[in-house]
Amino acid sequence: MQALLVENMDGTPRMVPGEYKTPEPADHELLVKIEATALNRADLLQKSGRYPPPEGASSLLGLEMAGVVEKAGADAGWFSPGDAVFGLLPSGGYAEYCVLPESHVIRKPDSLSFEEAAAIPEAFLTAWQALVWLGNLRKGETVLIHAGGSGVGSAAIQLARQMFDARIITTAGKDDKLETCSRLGADLTINYNRDSFDEVIAHHFGESAVDLIIEFIGEPYWEKNIRSLAMDGRLIYLAMMGGARISEMSLTPILRKRLTIRGSLLRNRSQEYKSELIRDFSSQAMDLLMEGKLKPVIDSIYDWKDVEEAHRRMAGNLNTGKIVLTGM
Amino acid sequence: MQALLVENMDGTPRMVPGEYKTPEPADHELLVKIEATALNRADLLQKSGRYPPPEGASSLLGLEMAGVVEKAGADAGWFSPGDAVFGLLPSGGYAEYCVLPESHVIRKPDSLSFEEAAAIPEAFLTAWQALVWLGNLRKGETVLIHAGGSGVGSAAIQLARQMFDARIITTAGKDDKLETCSRLGADLTINYNRDSFDEVIAHHFGESAVDLIIEFIGEPYWEKNIRSLAMDGRLIYLAMMGGARISEMSLTPILRKRLTIRGSLLRNRSQEYKSELIRDFSSQAMDLLMEGKLKPVIDSIYDWKDVEEAHRRMAGNLNTGKIVLTGM
């Protein structure tokens, strides 16, 4: 099959089309003809050699896809050839075909295009894991979602709005991203290039007003996050893009405010964990997805041969929502 | 009634007997004649004025007691005058009488003396909260319990042994404390004055071997704790007796090892939380307490008039297990 391979001739890795062995579905797996895949920041890391895929997984990039079942492996009984599906991959989405456990797949509703469906898994499952499984969000709580213009951020805003009636605060670095956040349901949007989010939150809602924070930044936000958290507050790390080394910090608020601080990645979780997450998410959110009340925010759609241009857009942090590749 | 009051003539607070208004039980409350109370480190803080009791609570010291119901308030239907009970107090144990919600009380089995029963609530409920509610301990996991000779530490060792078949590592500063920990069920004991616990654990069980840490120390143990934690490890703070300011730390392990770090105090929790904790603990652990498989470790019993001597013993960290006051 055709796939996008990493070529690294002069120290600058770049994606080039090439031949790659078509995978074979094992027991309980599906072979899927990919119609669309979506980009993740992890792709850029993997491309540069800093984020190798889990053992046993394809060496190709690509953490999610939508497509059509081509062939079902032994004991894969829920889906048949011809079924349109979308799902989560440990790697291997930048290709014509992929295999994955059928428990990592969701049936694609007709109301969603392949491009839309491909933009759902990483963003919505990561947001679901962070808000619900790790963050224990309860109805009516106040949640601060950083990077509101990102795929995960925009999904988290929608989930918090539609399913938890939360008070939603979000940060982003561009006003058009913040407009999108407001449209999706954010109550208070903060441009971090103009304002210090902890001060804006304290001004609007008082000190220590935030029950749950979804975090991607790390060191530059540490103090402000801790200050903003309420009694029994939770701080969930999904990335630390601004650095992880803190030069001076106090553990006291952890005890005094009974805080919970936790980190998680989705990719290195067990197959069982992912299956259960997908089952839980789809059983609770599928109706809202079909009705269009939850909707992936799509920044742009590129032909997969233009992947380098798509990568540059993501690396430059220019996208609002997901960047999709199609035309495999 | 008689009670122990804080006198502070010359900047050195000390306990003196004196008159205090006998409390009246409100709806759903009990008035209890106290037979024994037990010391907690929080008593020393409260005595020095650094840990005021929650709003509405008695200004007296004392977070737990065992005694006999003297009078039941309106709608308090589970207990009758003459019933022997023990329970958790927000304050007020250093006295002849106390009032508390009947949902904060457990019936005293005949197999336990009043002195033993008074030594149970703070130690076992705090340990239960830390291991089960906050730490989510699962059967067969590896748990590191610091301050194994303390009331909470010795209770946690027993609970982890009897109810979770855990691999138990504990630290203390004296060999006789460590012998008590071994007798209670610890698999590996470490004298922190002689050895660095992270190195001993790595030597015995490999790097990153600990699923759950129950922590009281803070800054001096931060790095070693983080290093010792396994994937999905949990670090639960109940105190930070060694200081809370950390210079130079990395958030990276939180993400990479998917750690959970949380802090909690029992005292400032809501009445409902305490009621539910007591209900959960007593429904699951009462049989083991009655059979003597769980047993409070009693360091010493003082007449309540000798409270200053008892306080000095605790302040000097000389006790193994609980210090009890009796003779009110």
For A149-181, what is each residue's pLDDT tens digit?
A: 999 999 999 999 999 999 999 999 999 999 999
- Closest-CA residue to B129 (of B17, B267, B229, B306): B267
Tokens of B197: 């616990």
Q: Is residue B270 within 8 angstroms of chain A, CB to CB?
A: no
Q: Looking at beta carbons, which residues of chain B come within 8 Å of A265?
A: 255, 258
Let me know whether B181 and B142 are in one domain.
yes
CATH of residue A33's domain is: 3.90.180.10
Which residue of B lies nearest to A253 if distances are taken between CA atoms? B263
> What is the domain count for chain B?
2
Of B219, B252, B263, the CB nearest to A254: B263
Which residue of A lies nearest to B262 if distances are taken between CA atoms? A260
Which residue of A lies nearest to B250 if distances are taken between CA atoms? A245
What pLDDT shows up at residue A186? 98
Instruction: Flag whether the ipTM exceeds 0.95.
Output: no
CATH of residue B133's domain is: 3.40.50.720
Which residues form the domain of B180? 123-263
Which residue of B lies nearest to A237 if distances are taken between CA atoms? B255
Which residue of A lies nearest to B249 if distances are taken between CA atoms? A246
- In whole angstroms, give the CA distance from residue B284 to residue B295: 15
List residues bridging with A293 in a β-sheet.
none
Q: How far is B307 from chain A (nearest CA, A)?
A: 28
Let me know whether B14 and B93 are in one domain.
yes
Let me know whether B127 and B116 are in one domain.
no
Cα four-point dihedral sign B116, B119, B121, B124? negative
What pLDDT shows up at residue B241? 92
Which residue of B lies nearest to A262 if distances are taken between CA atoms? B260
Answer with the one of A245, A263, A281 that is the final residue of a domain: A263
- In whole angstroms, give the CA distance from residue A303 to residue A36: 9
Judged by CB atoms closer than 8 Å, whether chains meet at B257 and A263 is answered as: yes
- In whole angstroms, give the CA distance from residue B213 to residue B235: 5
What pLDDT shows up at residue A194? 97
Q: How far is B134 from chain A (nearest CA, A)?
A: 9
Q: Looking at beta carbons, which residues of chain B come within 8 Å of A218?
A: 251
Contact A295, A158 (CB under 8 A): yes
**Over residues A266-287, mean pLDDT:** 94
Q: Looking at beta carbons, which residues of chain B come within 8 Å of A244?
A: 250-252, 255
Q: Is residue A241 within 8 angstroms of chain B, CB to CB?
A: no
Q: Is residue A255 within 8 angstroms of chain B, CB to CB?
A: yes
Q: Looking at beta carbons, which residues of chain B come within 8 Å of A258?
A: 262-265
Of B240, B248, B260, the CB nearest to A251: B240
Q: Is residue A5 within 8 angstroms of chain B, CB to CB?
A: no
Contact A192, A201 (CB under 8 A): no
Q: Looking at beta carbons, which residues of chain A come within 8 Å of B232?
A: none
**Over residues A33-43, mean pLDDT:** 97
Let me know whether B58 and B140 are in one domain.
no
Q: Is residue B218 within 8 angstroms of chain A, CB to CB?
A: yes
Banded model confidence at residue A11, pLDDT cuts 50, 70, 90: confident
A-interface mutation test, from B212, B255, B265, most A Cβ less than 10 A away: B255
- In whole angstroms, give the CA distance from residue A143 to residue A146: 10
What pLDDT shows up at residue B265? 86
- In whole angstroms, give the CA distance from residue A297 to residue A123: 10
Let me know whether A108 and A12 are in one domain.
yes
Contact B154, B120 (CB under 8 A): no
Judged by CB atoms closer than 8 Å, whether chains meet at A258 and B259 is answered as: no
Answer with the one of A244, A263, A282 that is the final residue of a domain: A263
Let me know whether B195 and B162 are in one domain.
yes
Q: What does the pLDDT profile of chain B (328 residues) look like in tens digits?
A: 999 999 988 889 999 999 999 999 999 999 999 999 999 999 999 999 988 888 888 999 999 999 999 999 999 889 999 999 999 999 999 999 999 999 999 999 999 999 999 999 999 999 999 999 999 999 999 999 999 999 999 999 999 999 999 999 999 999 999 999 999 999 999 999 999 999 999 999 999 999 999 999 999 999 999 999 999 999 999 999 999 999 999 999 999 999 999 999 888 899 999 999 999 999 999 999 999 999 999 999 999 999 999 999 999 999 999 999 999 9
Q: Is residue A244 within 8 angstroms of chain B, CB to CB?
A: yes
| pTM (predicted TM-score) | 0.93
Let me know whether B239 and B282 are in one domain.
no
Let me know whether A162 and A235 are in one domain.
yes
What pLDDT shows up at residue B296? 96
Let me know whether A8 and A112 are in one domain.
yes
Let me know whether A106 and A147 are in one domain.
no
Within 13 Å of residue B72, how many CA atoms lie on the same side as its CB?
16
The answer for A97, left when phi > 0, alpha when psi is -120 to 50, beta otherwise, is: beta
Banded model confidence at residue A81, pLDDT cuts 50, 70, 90: very high
- In whole angstroms, give the CA distance from residue B8 to residue B46: 13
Let me know whether B191 and B223 are in one domain.
yes
What pLDDT shows up at residue B9? 84
Q: Is residue B54 within 8 angstroms of chain A, CB to CB?
A: no
Which residue of A lies nearest to B252 if distances are taken between CA atoms? A244
Judged by CB atoms closer than 8 Å, whether chains meet at B264 and A245 is answered as: no
**Over residues A115-132, mean pLDDT:** 98
Judged by CB atoms closer than 8 Å, whether chains meet at A262 and B258 is answered as: yes
- In whole angstroms, give the CA distance from residue B234 to residue B326: 38
As a whole number, the mean pLDDT across chain A is: 96
Contact B119, B296 (CB under 8 A): yes
What pLDDT shows up at residue B56? 85
Q: Is residue B262 within 8 angstroms of chain A, CB to CB?
A: yes
Q: Is residue B6 within 8 angstroms of chain A, CB to CB?
A: no
Q: Is residue A19 within 8 angstroms of chain B, CB to CB?
A: no
Answer with the one of A238, A263, A288 that is the final residue of a domain: A263
Let me know whether A165 and A75 are in one domain.
no
- In whole angstroms, give the CA distance from residue A308 to residue A13: 10
